[in-house]
Amino acid sequence: MAALRLPPLPTIREILKLFRLRAVKQLSQNFLLDLRLTDKIVRKAGNLTNAYVYEVGPGPGGITRSILNANVAELLVVEKDSQFIPGLQMLSDAAPGKLRIVHGDVLTFKIEKSFPASLKRPWEDDPPNIHIIGNLPFSVSTPLIIKWLENISNRNGPFAYGRTQMTLTFQKEVAERLVATTGSEQRSRLSVMAQYLCDVKHIFTIPGQAFVPKPEVDVGVVHFIPSIQPKIEQPFKLVEKVVQNVFQFRRKYCHRGLGMLFPEAQRLESTGKLLRLADIDPTLRPTQLSILHFRSLCDIYRKMCDEDPQLFGYNFREELKQKKDKQQVKEEEEEEESCGL
């Protein structure tokens, strides 16, 4: 099949002028105009010849062009901001039958039935010939990757087809967190959640000045390949709860955050039991806990939840709020009594 080359088109800068496109600050939009950089992002995604690609947040279409020039079978783009649709439509006209445009929100868009069922691969096989690529607005990147990590855990959404690969941009600081190793300063909730489910690589950094408008930070390009076997074999929500609780007190010893998994009346005893059975030193800091540590913690916490079915639903903030509400009622009653009411 002859390789598709797009016909001569206005540059991305000219597209911005032609359609009077403006970056919306509230949506943290930044446009990548240098086609050498968009080509590099696409190259790093892997061999896209005859691949099916899902691009999120295409904006004025810089990466979109590079993907189309990589001779893909089909490109599906999902764009929330209506101002970009006419420019994308121009690209679609230049590449007949190759580009599908959906005006919608990536956080709610259901991709499960967007590509042919014949592309599905068993989870244990090589990844399917489907790729997710995107220069994500900073405001969306973290909630979206958490959503997709949950999809990986459940093998649904874009991962109903198998171990779909992702090549995505993040603020450099977020990219560093995603790949941070045990003991590093950047180690965080994101590090653990991404690494227990995927092979994650920070493949290169794009300087902020390459974008329009220039963000205050540089941008990291990160590649994800879902693992055949997750490093923690527990439900995503359970892992997320344990990891979130540990890292909410990232400067404290790990027992501080783990204690918040348990109601106050049993906190000391249950936290001690969890750490003892998981064989973890209570004076380790959250950043010092490895994936193996978290696996032990999640496995033991799961057993404790099985023994006490109400435990998983416990939220320490709700208990704190109830205590405050009771205290407030008590103070109001005492005030009424002192006033002789």
Q: State the Cα–Cα distance between residues 53 and 42, nearest whole angstrom.
A: 11
**Tokens read off for 101:** 């445009």
Q: State the Cα–Cα distance between residues 27 and 45, nearest whole angstrom.
A: 25
Q: Is 185 annotated as a binding residue?
A: no
Classify residue 214 by its DSSP letter. P
* Contact partners, residue 30, CB within 8 Å, separation at least 6: 23, 135, 137, 138, 211, 212, 213, 214, 215, 219
Q: Is 297 annotated as a binding residue?
A: no
β-strand pairing of 165-171 with 219-226: antiparallel
Radius of gyration of the chain (CA): 24
| 206 three-class SS | strand
Q: State the Cα–Cα distance between residues 47 and 338, nearest whole angstrom.
A: 78
Q: State the Cα–Cα distance between residues 88 and 148, nearest whole angstrom.
A: 25
Instruction: Answer whether 29's CB lies under 8 Å from 83's CB.
Output: no
Q: State the Cα–Cα distance between residues 32 and 17, nearest whole angstrom.
A: 15
Q: State the Cα–Cα distance between residues 326 and 78, nearest whole angstrom.
A: 48
Q: State the Cα–Cα distance between residues 219 and 171, nearest whole angstrom.
A: 5
Q: Is 30 annotated as a binding residue?
A: yes
Query: DSSP E strands: which ranges in the chain?
Result: 31-32, 52-56, 74-79, 99-103, 130-134, 165-171, 198-206, 211-212, 219-226
* Contact partners, residue 185, CB within 8 Å, separation at least 6: 287
Q: Is 81 annotated as a binding residue?
A: no
Instruction: Answer whether 182's CB lies under 8 Å from 280's CB.
Output: no
Q: Which residues fall in the annotated binding site? A: 30, 32, 57, 79, 105, 135
Q: Which residues fall in the annotated binding site for S-adenosyl-L-methionine? A: 30, 32, 57, 79, 105, 135
